[in-house]
Amino acid sequence: MAPPTRILGQSSSEITGPAFSPDGRRLYFSSQRGTSGHSTGSGGITYEVTGPFRTQA
């Protein structure tokens, strides 16, 4: 089992909306407040992680 994703330097934020691309090769998720930590939500960041990812048999 792979460890969960951890975003350093964004302790005042939360991870939102993990979703795979239609072909299953990319994972997208966002850090709601990013490094700013503002409660207004400004500074959010979306990340793209490229696979390959494991699939269940």
Q: Tell me the sheet residues that pair with 31.
A: 15, 45
Average pLDDT of 40-52?
80
What is the enclosing helix (H) or strand (E) of 12? none
Whether the Cβ atoms of residue 19 and residue 29 lie closer than 8 Å to each other: yes
Average pLDDT of 15-23?
88
Average pLDDT of 34-53?
75
Residue 47: is its pLDDT beyond 80? Answer: yes
Whether the Cβ atoms of residue 42 and residue 55 lie closer than 8 Å to each other: no
Residue 12 backbone zone (phi > 0: left; psi -120 to 50: alpha; other: beta): alpha
Q: What is the pLDDT of residue 32?
A: 83
Average pLDDT, the chain: 78
The residue with greater pLDDT, 31 or 2, is 31
Residue 30: is its pLDDT beyond 60? Answer: yes
